[in-house]
Amino acid sequence: MIVTTVLEASEIDLSRNVQEDGLIKIEILRGEISIEGWSEARVQVKGDLDELAEGLSFEVRDGVTEIEVEMPGRNVSWGDGSDLIIYVPTLSRVAVKAVATDIEVSDVFGGMQLRSISGDI
């Protein structure tokens, strides 16, 4: 198991080796994410975190990769959201839970479950 937590950083660039056909779970409250499939057996997260984010959790365990932008419990209705590009193996299964987040996915063939309450998919 590999766990990485980035605290109070706005610009990130992290990567971890993963299973080519593993499950990638992403949770983000607000912003924009682009998920792009590639031929490498690793996940890379690049971009800028929400200015109110308390950190980014990036965990790999038993074929499951979990990525979560950690937000405070208080009102987060002001400021910019996260702007992330997430590269995943093309055979990955991707599940995204989002609120006010635009989601774009390309070249991912393992299956997708995408939910955003008020963002575009």
Residue with more model confidence, 7 or 68: 68
Please report how many Cα atoms fall inside a 13 Å half-sphere around the Cα of residue 6, on the Cβ side: 19
pLDDT of 76: 59
Whole-model pTM: value is: 0.89
Residue with more model confidence, 81 or 6: 81
Per-residue pLDDT of 21-80, as tens digits, reads 999 999 998 999 999 999 999 999 999 998 888 889 999 999 999 999 988 866 656 667
